[in-house]
Chains A and B, each alone.
Chain A
Amino acid sequence: MQREEDLVRRAQRREPEAFGQLYEEHFDRIYRYVMLRVRNQADAEDITQQVFLKALENLGSYRWRGMPFASWLFRIAHNLVVDHWKKKSREKVAAVAPEEVDQMVAESSNDPATLAELKLDMKQLSAACEQLSDGQREIISLRFAGGLSVAEAAKVMGKSEGAVKVLQHAALVKLRRILCPSVEEVHG
């Protein structure tokens, strides 16, 4: 943590090497998160590029206290994704048709015996995520595509860690129902 704090301070002093290291550490994770949220390579590339250009522009205003750097960066990505969908909804562009979702999800697995070997690709995962609530989709994207901890995700989402854990549980239960509808429900 201390190392990253030093790195950020050096990047704030415009040391190209320090910003380069932050870029290498976070680029792929940001791209995966954005890709899962927007489902389109060209848009994901545009938004990912904007995340880092905005980060560079606003790095001077970043303060370490209370907000890990990864959370700050993902917050930028989250805001850009929200703007992207606002713009798309103005254009009334259909996200993914419901029947397309069903087909993509059905291709993954609905056999209880195969749950142990459940295999998904990004397309199937994002189709399944389409059926989650905004908050559930966000936590799945931050945790599994962005690789954030619950504490970091909580900062991005502006929620308590407890609330994020509850949301994560609900999201996984719903994803399981979508991906493997015939697996029996177990209540603890």
Chain B
Amino acid sequence: MAERFENILDECLDRMRQGDGVEQCLARYPERAAELEPLLRVAMASQKASSAVEPRPEFKARTRYEIQSRLHDKGRETEPRKASLVGWMPRWAVVVASLVLIFLVAGTGTVAASSTSMPDDTLYPVKLATERVQLRLSRGDIRKARVNVRLADRRIKEIVYLAKKGDSRRLDRALLRLSGHMEAIEQVIEANADRPKVQEAVTALKALLEERFAENESAIQGATNNTDDPGILKRVLERYRQGYQGALGSGWRVSN
């Protein structure tokens, strides 16, 4: 029984992957050569076109570094935990205790000082904790979205700062946080699209977004001239644009 053409073609493709030339494959199946040849040529050209593409070395290195950091963190997580001071407390009590602590600390001015801190400052974790509390305390999802707009502004400032310093590891984390804010805003706008009662608030939120976008976009563009790797900031800008396009809907376009 004649072998199916698909099997012959596949065998030739595998042989070519192992280094055989088109002619060698055709010589094995002379009776099917006329049919095989154009397909093998196209396959070879496709393979060559793909293999000519290489990831940027700095991107590959950055991803490797990110993975190694996470492996290291996970390794620490899997180590047996030491007894925690608050381990016996229910979750709600820990939240209340954290809030009280943050407001006590706020009295000393630490929170105020942390609000302008950058990701490589010691006060930065306080800034993030305060932001989480702000989000929790905001009532209603549109108010939460407005807080997220402000927090996105902060992330942009941090990204510009980190790009200037060439700290790509922290920049990637800031970018992830920025994406989180943008997705949260998008979800709120989507969820409220068909609710007539809140349309005024949604429109005001969108206007705020557009205003902030214009300012942040020029900040990022301006910073590309002051960094050794402008590619990173171009990627940030693209992600930021995608986030805004996602939030404002398909009818809205970012002008270049």
A116 closest partner in B (C-beta): B41
Give the size of the chain B interface in residues (CB under 8 angstroms): 50
List residues of chain A with CB within 8 A of the CB of B52: 121-122
List residues of chain B with CB within 8 A of the CB of A147: 17
Q: How many A-B residue pairs have CB under 8 A?
A: 131
Q: A28-B55, A144-B46 are in contact. Are A176 and B39 (CB under 8 A)?
A: yes
List residues of chain B with CB within 8 A of the CB of A149: 14
Q: A45-B59, A91-B250 are in contact. Are A168 and B6 (CB under 8 A)?
A: yes
Q: Is A96 an interface residue (CB 8 A)?
A: no
Instruction: Give the residues from 98 to 143 in chain B that come closer than 8 angstroms, CB to CB, to chain A.
Output: none
List residues of chain B with CB within 8 A of the CB of A90: 246, 250
Decide if B50 touches A145 in the complex (CB within 8 Å).
yes
Q: How far is the CA of A161 from the CA of B71 in the complex (A)?
A: 36
Q: Which of A52, A118, A162 contacts B45 (CB 8 A)?
A: A118
Q: How far is the CA of A128 from the CA of B241 in the complex (A)?
A: 28
Instruction: Give the residues from 22 to 72 in chain B that come closer than 8 angstroms, CB to CB, to chain A.
Output: 32, 34-35, 38-39, 41-56, 59-60, 63-64, 66-68, 70-72
Q: How far is the CA of A67 from the CA of B135 in the complex (A)?
A: 43
Chain A 128-169, CB within 8 Å of chain B: the 1/0 string? 000000000000100111010110000000000010011011
A168 closest partner in B (C-beta): B10
Q: Is A115 an interface residue (CB 8 A)?
A: yes
Q: How far is the CA of A92 from the CA of B51 in the complex (A)?
A: 31
Q: How far is the CA of A181 from the CA of B177 in the complex (A)?
A: 49
Rounded to whole Å, the gap between the CB of B42 and the closest CB of chain A is: 5
Q: Is B13 an interface residue (CB 8 A)?
A: yes
Decide if A144 touches B54 in the complex (CB within 8 Å).
no
